[in-house]
């Protein structure tokens, strides 16, 4: 089968692309390499250098001809950037998704699996977070990702394009972003640890997050693409089984800590209910955080 992977030069997309090639599929990566890295592109993948903000849908659709499915990862997944630059981030995260859906529809693709985000939940009083809860996006990024979900379910209802939205909860693993002001918290800790600087925590570190290993996220994508029970615009959580506090993660580095002001738009707690995900695509995480995180620290040379 032929599959399109938008954002396939990014962290999760390149891991998925590698997996699909290993499984014997033809993979076409569509990426503008804004944050994606060429060295991440797996051997055997065809690369189309393309910016999904382009309104040339015909050309985009021509790249998707003959594909069974599209895994849509491309985005600028950074909360602070979306607050600083709401227009630019909306162009990538909203129009990038809309253009992908229109092109997939026009090319006759069977299904699109969309990378949604748990940030759509915002600050919920009740945990675990369930897809039926009223979303409370706290940042332009969260709102943009939520709009993508709504476009996905509309495209099924209006045009019959099968879609599944997967709401990821903090994805980690080898290949995750390590540089720049918007690198995820682990990677910032790693950089500070190796530079022998104190680890910086925004707020008091009591914020909790559910972390999901990238290999589990890839498996959820494959199952969402193949499942006969899903495809009608569903929104499914892809969450780890428990949550961990930021302070707990910092403590695992066994290193001095400095506390900074809380960040605007930061969600205090996150943990997803995965019952619907289990039911519709038969997925649950396999990699326990303690093991996945230790392996990452070894991979980084921290242990
Ligand atoms: N990493 C996480 O913890 C996490 C959590 C929730 C949701 N997500 C979602 O998962 C997806 C993948 O995340 P990631 O961590 O791999 O991100 P990433 O930044 O590593 O990869 C994103 C890729 O998209 C490409 N891209 C960005 N804008 C583009 C455009 N306009 N046209 C073409 N390509 C473009 C980038 O070059 C990059 O290769 C994103 O949609 C993100 O919102 C990620």
* pLDDT tens per residue, range 15-73: 999 999 999 999 999 999 999 999 999 999 999 999 999 999 999 999 999 999 999 99
**Exposed/middle/buried for residue 103 (C-beta within 10 Å: 0-12, 13-18, 19+):** buried
Distance 76 CA to ligand 1 centre (A): 5
Least confident of 116-125, 157-166, 258-267: 258-267
Residue 254 CB neighbours (<10 A): 8
Between 126 and 19, the more confident residue is: 19
54 domain residue, yes or no: yes
- CA-nearest residue for atom 21, ligand 1, is 10
Q: Across residues 247-259, what is the average pLDDT?
A: 95
Distance 10 CA to ligand 1 centre (A): 6
Residue 265's pLDDT is 66
62 domain residue, yes or no: yes
Question: Is 177 near ligand 1, meaning CB less than 6 Å away?
Answer: yes
Question: Is 220 near ligand 1, meaning CB less than 6 Å away?
Answer: no
Question: Is 35 near ligand 1, meaning CB less than 6 Å away?
Answer: yes
Least confident of 25-39, 141-155, 178-192: 178-192
Interior/surface letters 156-189, b for 16+ CB within 10 angstroms, e for the rest: beeeebbbbbbbbbbbbbebbbeeeebbbbbbbb
User: Which positions ≥6 away from 75 have C-beta within 8 Å?
Assistant: 7, 92, 93, 96, 97, 115, 144, 145
Q: For residue 103, give the CATH number of its domain.
A: 3.40.50.720
40 domain residue, yes or no: yes
**Per-residue confidence band for 183, with pLDDT thresholds at 50, 70 and 90:** low
Residue 247's pLDDT is 96
Question: Is 165 near ligand 1, meaning CB less than 6 Å away?
Answer: no
Q: Across residues 157-177, what is the average pLDDT?
A: 94
- CA-nearest residue for atom 42, ligand 1, is 77
Mutate which of 77, 185, 213 for ligand 1 pocket (most atoms within 8 A of beta carbon): 77
246 domain residue, yes or no: no
Residue 149's pLDDT is 98
261 domain residue, yes or no: no
Number of folded domains that form the chain: 1
**Per-residue confidence band for 187, with pLDDT thresholds at 50, 70 and 90:** confident
- CA-nearest residue for atom 12, ligand 1, is 73
Q: Across residues 113-122, what is the average pLDDT?
A: 95
Measured CA to CA, the distance from residue 187 to residue 237 in angstroms comes to 24
pLDDT at 181 over 60: no
Residue 182's pLDDT is 55
pLDDT at 249 over 60: yes
Residue 180's pLDDT is 61
Q: Could you tell me what percent of the chain has a pLDDT over 70? A: 98
Atom of ligand 1 nearest to the CA of 35: 37
Atom of ligand 1 nearest to the CA of 212: 3
**Angle, CA 86 vertex, CA 85 and CA 91 arms, to 5°:** 105
- Structural domain boundaries enclosing 167: 2-172+212-238+272-287
pLDDT averaged over every residue in the chain: 95
183 domain residue, yes or no: no
**Is-catalytic flag, 141?**
yes
Question: Is 183 near ligand 1, meaning CB less than 6 Å away?
Answer: no
201 domain residue, yes or no: no
180 domain residue, yes or no: no
User: Which of the residues 3, 141, 156, 172 is marked catalytic?
Assistant: 141
Distance 255 CA to ligand 1 centre (A): 30
pLDDT digits (tens, 9 = 90+) for 64-117: 999 999 999 999 998 889 999 999 999 999 999 999 999 999 999 999 999 999
Distance 8 CA to ligand 1 centre (A): 8
């Amino acid at each position: 089968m032929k599959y399109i992977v938008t954002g396939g030069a990014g962290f999760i997309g390149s891991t998925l692309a590698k997996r699909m090639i290993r499984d014997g599929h033809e993979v076409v990566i569509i990426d503008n390499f804004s944050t994606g890295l060429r060295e991440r592109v797996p051997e055997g993948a065809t690369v189309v250098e393309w910016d999904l903000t382009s309104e040339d849908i015909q050309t985009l659709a021509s790249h998707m001809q003959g594909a069974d499915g599209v895994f849509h990862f491309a985005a600028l997944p950074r909360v602070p950037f979306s607050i600083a630059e709401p227009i630019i981030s909306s162009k990538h995260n909203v129009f990038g998704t809309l253009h992908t859906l229109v092109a997939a529809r026009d090319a006759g693709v069977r299904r699109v699996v969309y990378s949604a985000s748990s940030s759509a939940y915002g600050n919920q009083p009740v945990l675990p977070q369930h897809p039926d809860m009223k979303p409370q996006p706290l940042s332009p990024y969260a709102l943009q990702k939520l709009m993508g979900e709504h476009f996905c379910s509309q495209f099924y209802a209006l045009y019959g394009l099968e879609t599944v939205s997967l709401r990821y909860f903090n994805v980690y693993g080898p290949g995750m972003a390590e540089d720049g002001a918007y690198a995820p918290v682990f990677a910032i800790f790693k950089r500070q640890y190796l530079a022998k600087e104190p680890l910086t925590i925004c707020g008091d570190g009591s914020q909790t997050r559910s972390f999901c290993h990238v290999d589990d996220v890839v498996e959820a994508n494959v199952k969402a693409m193949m499942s006969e029970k899903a495809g009608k615009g569903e929104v499914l959580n892809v969450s780890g089984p428990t949550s961990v506090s930021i302070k707990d993660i910092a403590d695992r580095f066994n290193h001095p800590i400095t506390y900074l002001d809380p960040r605007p738009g930061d969600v205090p707690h996150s943990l997803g209910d995965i019952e619907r995900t289990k039911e519709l695509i038969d997925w649950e995480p396999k990699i326990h955080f303690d093991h996945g995180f230790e392996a990452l620290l070894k991979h980084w040379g921290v242990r």
